[in-house]
Amino acid sequence: MKTLKSIAIILFITLFGCTEKLPAPADKKATKETVNLFKSLWELQQKGIMYGHQDDLMYGYKWWYEKDRSDTKDFTGDYPAVAGFELGHLEPGNERSLDSVSFIQIAEQVKAHYKRGGVITISWHANNPLTMQEPVPEDAEGRARFQHGTAWDVRSTEVVASILPGGKNHEMFNTWLERLATFFAGLKDDDGTPIPFIFRPYHEHSGSFFWWGTNICTDEEYSALWRYTVEFLRDKKGLHNIIYAYNTDRVTSLEQYMRGYPGDDIIDMLSLDMYDRGEQFGGELDTTLNFVTTEAINRNKLTALSETGGRWGMDDWWSTVLLPVVSKYPVGYVLTWRHTYMPRFRMFNIDQPFPDDFLNFYNSPHTLFLKEIQEPNVYTRK
Ligand code: BMA
pLDDT of res. 348: 58
Distance of CA 293 to the CA centre of its chain: 16
Residue bearing the CA closest to ligand 1, atom 8: 338
Confidence of residue 38 (pLDDT cuts 50, 70, 90): very high
pTM of the model: 0.94
Question: Are 356 and 315 a contacting pair, CB within 8 Å?
Answer: yes
Helix (H/G/I), strand (E/B), else coil: 211: coil
165-195 pLDDT, tens per residue? 999 999 999 999 999 999 999 999 999 999 9
Q: Which of 338, 342, 345, 346 to mutate to test the pocket of ligand 1 (most atoms within 8 A of CB)?
A: 338
User: Helices (DSSP H) in 22-153: which residue ranges?
Assistant: 32-47, 71-76, 103-115, 142-147
Q: Kindly state if the Cβ of 88 falls inside 6 Å of ligand 1.
A: yes
Percent of the chain residues past pLDDT 90, beyond the cut: 86
Which tens digit of pLDDT belongs to each residue from 101-139?
999 999 999 999 999 999 999 999 999 999 999 999 888
CA dihedral 54, 232, 130, 148 (to 10 degrees): 10
Report the separation in Å between the CA atom of 377 and the middle of ligand 1, taken as the mean of its atom positions.
Answer: 31
Alpha-carbon distance of 111 to 337, in angstroms, equals: 21
Cβ(262)–Cβ(246) below 8 Å = yes
Cα(36) to ligand 1 centroid in Å equals 31
Exposed/middle/buried for residue 301 (C-beta within 10 Å: 0-12, 13-18, 19+)? buried
Q: Whose CA is nearest to atom 9 of ligand 1?
A: 99
* Residues 282-289: contacts with CB under 8 Å, at least 24 apart: 282/321, 282/324, 282/325, 284/250, 284/252, 285/325, 285/326, 286/325, 286/328, 287/252, 288/250, 288/251, 288/252, 288/257, 289/325, 289/326, 289/328, 289/329, 289/331
**pLDDT above 90 for 156:** yes
Q: What is the pLDDT of residues 305-336, one digit of tens each?
A: 999 999 988 999 999 999 999 999 999 999 99
Domain ranges within the chain, ordered by starting residue: 32-374
Pocket test for ligand 1, best of 54, 90, 125 (most atoms within 8 A of CB): 125
Distance, in Å, from the CA atom of 50 to the CA atom of 21, rounded to the nearest integer, reads 23
CA–CA separation, 230 and 227 (whole Å): 5
Please state the atom number of ligand 1 nearest to the C-alpha of residue 55.
Answer: 12
Architecture category of domain 32-374 in CATH? Alpha-Beta Barrel (3.20)
Q: How does the average pLDDT of the chain come out, rounded?
A: 93
Q: Do the beta carbons of residue 99 and residue 142 sit within 8 Å?
A: no
